[in-house]
């Protein structure tokens, strides 16, 4: 609760002024910068620890690629892709 409460309070406080703030060029520039920073943080979190721990063999990369295709092109639900990837990884490790 203590982690999320400040952001919710900030959103609720800014909500009445949101339309006016959205039209302000400075606010638009700030939001563009914040969006770029968030993308950078997400990419950094994807690489370390996720990529460096999870992708150890070519089969791991193949499974990650199939999961990406399942999400982006086949448009499968994320829960199904996670469950399928977990099952495929478990079966691959059980076969070793």
Question: For the chain, which residues make up each domain, given as ranges?
Answer: 1-54, 56-96
* pLDDT score, position 81: 98
CA gap 72, 91 in Å, rounded? 24
CA gap 44, 39 in Å, rounded? 9
**This prediction's pTM:** 0.63
- Cβ 76 vs Cβ 70: under 8 Å: yes
CA gap 79, 96 in Å, rounded? 26
CA gap 61, 94 in Å, rounded? 18
Place of tokens 């406080």: 13
For 8, 19, 24, 31, 96, the CA distances from 28, given in Å and listed in that order, are 20, 11, 6, 5, 53
User: pLDDT tens-digit profile of 39-87?
Assistant: 999 999 999 998 999 899 999 999 999 999 999 999 999 999 999 999 9
């Amino acid at each position: 609760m203590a982690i999320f409460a400040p952001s919710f309070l900030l959103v609720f406080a800014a909500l009445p002024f949101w339309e006016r703030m959205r039209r302000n060029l400075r606010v638009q520039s700030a939001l563009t910068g914040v969006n770029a920073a968030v993308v950078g943080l997400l990419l950094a979190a994807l690489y370390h620890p996720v990529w460096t721990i999870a992708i150890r063999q070519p089969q791991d990369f193949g499974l990650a690629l199939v999961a990406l295709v399942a999400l982006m092109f086949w448009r499968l639900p994320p829960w199904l892709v996670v469950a399928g990837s977990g099952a495929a990884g478990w079966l691959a490790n059980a076969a070793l």
